[in-house]
């Protein structure tokens, strides 16, 4: 990336998100907040509020364009930049401070949310449980580890999560935390489901109707769990709830390069075979038993209440402007 005037460290974070060196909805959100903080501190333009706001809007657009599906990314960016709108800073220095302090607040609250969710989720895991998780969710790993510390987990099935194999990160982290883990191919989910007591998964986006968008294959896991009457818990911070879904905006699903699925040489050999690589899917609310957030455990159908409680400021904006999408200049101008 070669955007003019944007500090190299910020470009590096944006590139890291794009190439999935920084991945997982929570980490992406915190990295974006950190990038905004760096951008504010390293701003090299005219030291006045208006050009600074325009510059921050540009940085926001760059960050948001990196990956489309996890709403944690635009929510984090909006949380930080809307503070500029709310605080209405009189001086350039106040404006920079506002961004820096709000970014730090977001990061701190986000880390704290993971802790609260983990403690809450651990209490819902029964003694001697076998857990199944999919992909790599830092909240799910933390929640499962917390339950293990309470002596409630005897084994975790971790799917390998083709094509990017995030499940290997999950397996390694759980093992480092002392949790007995068994790595399985995604296609073995239904085979092991009869043994499983709880499915614990993360989320990239929760829609206003309680549908959960998460790593591709999550909906198949939930389907197999429903058939086997296994409870499915989604562990997700409230900034993963999407305000724009309330006005009917669909959650954009990211499609990634075919070479993540098959090697380029194979594609060259078989030019008429098309390869589809959707990165996320949607699990309908009826396949989810509870969404565990830092403000409590809710049935997916109560997602709207979380949106009103935590993202009311974004909802107000939608109502006022009748916007089909929340635009960043609405917060920064």
Ligand X SMILES: O=C(COP(=O)(O)O)[C@H](O)[C@H](O)COP(=O)(O)O
User: In Å, how far are 53, 231, 232 from 289, measured between CA atoms?
Assistant: 43, 6, 5
Across the chain, which distance is largest between two alpha carbons, in Å? Answer: 63
- At 241, is the secondary structure helix, strand, or coil? strand
Q: Is residue 167 near ligand X by the rule CB under 6 A?
A: no
Q: Is residue 138 near ligand X by the rule CB under 6 A?
A: yes
Cβ proximity to ligand X: between 24 and 74 the closer is 24
Give me the catalytic one of 197, 204, 289, 330: 204
Cβ proximity to ligand X: between 99 and 144 the closer is 144
Strands 205-206 and 212-215: antiparallel
CA 83 vs. chain centroid, Å, equals: 21
Written as one string, the DSSP assignment of 56-112 is HHHHHHHHHTS-SS-THHHHHHHHHHHHHHHH--SSHHHHHHHHHHHHHHHHHHHHH
Q: How many residues does the chain have?
A: 333
- Is the bond preceding residue 163 a cis peptide, omega within 30 degrees? yes
Q: What are phi and psi of 48, to 5 degrees?
A: -135, 155
CA distance 222 to 100: 40
Residue/partner pairs of 84-90 with CB below 8 Å, 24 or more apart: 84/53, 84/56, 84/331, 84/332, 85/330, 85/331, 85/332, 85/333, 86/313, 89/49, 90/49
- 190 has binding-site annotation: no
Of residues 53-72, those binding ligand X (CB under 6 A)? 70
Cβ proximity to ligand X: between 77 and 203 the closer is 203
DSSP structure class, residue 6: S
Q: Tell me if residue 330 is catalytic.
A: no
Least distance (Å) between residue 135 CB and ligand X? 4
Least distance (Å) between residue 215 CB and ligand X? 3
Give me the catalytic one of 135, 186, 197, 330: 135
Least distance (Å) between residue 289 CB and ligand X? 17
User: Which string of x and - marks every residue 257-296 that binds ligand X (by CB under 6 A)?
Assistant: ----------------------x-----------------
CA distance 212 to 280: 10
- 67 has binding-site annotation: yes
173 neighbors 256 (Cβ within 8 angstroms): no
Dihedral sign, CA of 324, 327, 331, 333? Answer: negative
Q: CB within 8 A of 308, min separation 6: which ones?
A: 315
66, 83, 137, 332: which one binds ligand X (CB under 6 A): 137
Least distance (Å) between residue 26 CB and ligand X? 3
31, 113, 131, 139: which one binds ligand X (CB under 6 A): 139
59, 62, 117, 135: which one binds ligand X (CB under 6 A): 135
User: Which string of x and - marks every residue 14-53 that binds ligand X (by CB under 6 A)?
Assistant: ---------xxxxx--------------------------
159 neighbors 221 (Cβ within 8 angstroms): yes
Cβ proximity to ligand X: between 10 and 144 the closer is 144
82, 170, 208, 214: which one binds ligand X (CB under 6 A): 214
Q: Tell me if residue 94 is catalytic.
A: no
Interacting stretch for ligand X, rule CB under 6 A, among 79-87, 88-96, 196-204, 296-304? 196-204
- 310 has binding-site annotation: no
Least distance (Å) between residue 193 CB and ligand X? 19
- 248 has binding-site annotation: no
Interacting stretch for ligand X, rule CB under 6 A, among 121-129, 199-207, 285-293, 312-320? 199-207
Residues in binding site for substrate? 23-26, 67, 214-215, 240
Residues taking part in catalysis: 135, 204
Residues found near ligand X in the complex (CB under 6 A):
23-27, 70, 135, 137-139, 166, 202-204, 214-215, 279
């Amino acid at each position: 990336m070669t955007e003019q005037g944007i500090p190299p460290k910020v470009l590096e974070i944006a590139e890291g998100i794009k190439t999935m060196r920084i991945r997982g909805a929570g980490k992406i959100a915190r990295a974006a907040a950190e990038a905004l903080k760096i951008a504010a501190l390293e701003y090299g333009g005219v030291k006045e509020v208006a050009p600074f706001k325009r510059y921050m809007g540009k940085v926001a657009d760059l960050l948001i364009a990196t990956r489309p599906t996890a709403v944690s990314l635009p929510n984090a960016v909006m949380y930080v930049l809307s503070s500029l709108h709310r605080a209405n800073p009189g001086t350039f220095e106040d404006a920079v401070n506002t961004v820096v302090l709000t970014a730090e607040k977001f990061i701190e609250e986000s880390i704290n949310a993971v802790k609260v969710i983990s403690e809450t989720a651990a209490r819902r895991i029964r003694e001697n449980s076998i857990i199944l998780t999919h992909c790599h969710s830092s909240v799910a790993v933390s929640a499962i580890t917390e339950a293990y510390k309470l002596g409630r987990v005897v084994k975790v099935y971790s799917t390998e999560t083709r094509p990017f194999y995030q499940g290997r990160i999950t397996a390694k982290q759980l093992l480092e935390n002392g949790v007995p883990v068994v790595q399985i191919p995604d296609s073995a989910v239904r085979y092991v489901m009869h043994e499983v007591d709880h499915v614990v998964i993360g989320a990239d986006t929760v829609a206003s109707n309680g549908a959960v968008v998460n790593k591709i294959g999550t909906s198949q896991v939930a389907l197999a769990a429903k058939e086997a009457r296994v409870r499915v818990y989604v562990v997700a911070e409230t900034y993963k709830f999407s305000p724009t879904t309330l006005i009917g905006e669909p959650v954009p699903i990211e499609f990634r390069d075919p070479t993540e699925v098959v090697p380029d040489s194979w594609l060259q050999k078989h030019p008429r075979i098309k390869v589809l690589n959707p990165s996320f899917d949607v699990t309908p609310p009826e396949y989810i038993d509870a969404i565990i957030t830092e403000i409590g455990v809710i049935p997916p159908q109560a997602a709207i209440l979380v949106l009103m409680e935590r993202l009311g400021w974004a909802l107000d904006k939608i109502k006022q402007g009748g916007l089909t999408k929340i635009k960043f200049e609405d917060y920064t101008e």
